[in-house]
Amino acid sequence: MKTYNGCGKKKCAIARVFLKIKKNNIRINNFKINEYFNKKINYKIIFDPIRITNSKNLDIKINVKGGGKNSQIMAIRNGLAKALLNYNKIYKKILSDNKLLTRDSRVVERKKIGKIKSRKSKQFSKR
């Protein structure tokens, strides 16, 4: 049985996604999906690539680490789109039109010396 993989990233979160053509079994870090993510809205965001490409009977294994829950969700979504692209090259136009293949490159700006945060500074008093 052939495995198709993809790697998705968002901020510090990295998700490795592995697809097999079997029955619908989804595991995230060896947990069921409803044990790892508790909100139904998250499922809709994660399975956007599958819904758009109309793929069925996929066994999905996901390893995700780093970042917060929202970053992990977006990283999984990106990795799933890339794995589906490895599975079938026909999906490239559909996935790229919905902007699922591009990585969100925004990261937190570093803190500068003499500032409270990256741009926030101490209160200035004229008198």
Please state the φ and ψ torsions of residue 23, each to the nearest 5 degrees.
-90, 170
Residue type, 18: F
Top-tier CATH class for 4-97: alpha beta
pLDDT by residue (tens digit) across 92-112? 999 999 999 999 999 999 999
Spatial contact of 24 and 55, defined as CB atoms under 8 Å apart:
no
Q: What is the residue-averaged pLDDT of the chain?
A: 92
Q: Is the pLDDT of residue 33 over 90?
A: no
Q: Which of 46, 55, 43 is nearest to 84 (CA)?
A: 55
